[in-house]
Structure 1
């Protein structure tokens, strides 16, 4: 017999998967051959944004306020702590509420407060992987309105599961 809590979790999972399918999201692999990493992204739900002179790739939600940013580059002799500290200090409107790390990766997550009155705070989730030799990094960040947390949990999990470190 399935316990009520387990049954509720299965229903939530089914609904989140169905909402992704209904939204037109087609998961496809994004390969960055130049920097040697790849990740699955929900194209249709997100589309690339035209950018110039940036080392990152931005994907904007087609029918919402979320975004995914992919970035990579030279680790320049930085340690995981150095890199995490740099990301933490970049935006004074961010409050980091979660941090985890392993031998060659780290995760930062928290809230970003808007400076525009009436605009909902965003949740951000950042994961950075270092290459085996520690010379390069690849990273992604997903930012979305607090009210979309349940929907985005499934998106982040799939992105994180498919994300590879640079060569």
Structure 2
């Protein structure tokens, strides 16, 4: 029987340690390790464009394209479409807001000077961090289902929302619908037990989408940003995705 030398044993131990550090690192940054690993792969599946930013109105970055913006809940029907086919806000009945933005926190290593605050949806019981100063809270989605966040120049936006009534079949249908969406060029797709991650392009924008199905509720994060801002937004996508809780 061939004996394993000390050098080989040491190499195997280092590989094991590296794998453990990677897993612990993903856990430390928040979220499950599988979706975060998928997020890293999703970011690697898109490329930057060194051309000028494509400035668009906030509505245009989240306009309707099949099921892209429309959530599968009746409350979202409180949003209507304008003559250009873009979603516009229809104010719901007066009442206390079901979501809040609280507290700022220092940016994680590698995220530059970005400071994050927490968006918390009390009605559906989930929260996520967003880059304050980069994306600003904008319209509420549906009847307290979520919120949009927009860059002041229209070059980026984020949509965060939840819907009740999740199931494995519904998750699979949502995943398949996005793959068939004619407005999206999907360059990365993966699906796990109760979640999926997609990335690719929508026009001149990169898009990223993470959906989790837990506790009979879908939690959705969608981010659009100009391809010329990829180096700045990839760390933001990483942090936002890792912070999704609830």
TM-score range normalised by the length of the shorter chain: 0.7 to 0.9
1:50 aligned counterpart, secondary structure: strand
* In 1, Cα distance between equivalents of 2:225 and 2:173: 26
More strand by share: 1
1:85 is aligned to: 176
2:242 aligned counterpart, secondary structure: helix
2:139 aligned counterpart, secondary structure: coil
2:230 aligned counterpart, secondary structure: helix
* In 1, Cα distance between equivalents of 2:131 and 2:120: 14
- Residue pair 2:136, 2:150 contacting (<8 A) in 1 also: yes
- Residue pair 1:124, 1:141 contacting (<8 A) in 2 also: yes
Aligned length, in residue pairs: 137
1:160 aligned counterpart, secondary structure: helix
TM-score by length of 1: 0.72
Cα 1:162–1:51 change in 2 (3 A) is closer
1:145: Cα distance to partner? 0.8
1:17 aligns with 2:128: no
Cα 1:75–1:53 change in 2 (3 A) is closer
* In 1, Cα distance between equivalents of 2:224 and 2:185: 13
Residue correspondence of structure 1 range 3-152 to structure 2 within 5 A: 17-18=111-112, 21=113, 25-51=114-140, 53=142, 55-63=145-153, 65-77=155-167, 78-89=169-180, 91-113=181-203, 121-131=204-214, 133=215, 135-152=216-233
The answer for unaligned runs of 5 or more in structure 1 is 1-13, 114-120
Tell me the C-alpha RMSD between the 2 structures.
2.3
TM-score by length of 2: 0.50
Q: Over alpha carbons, which structure has the higher Rg?
A: 2
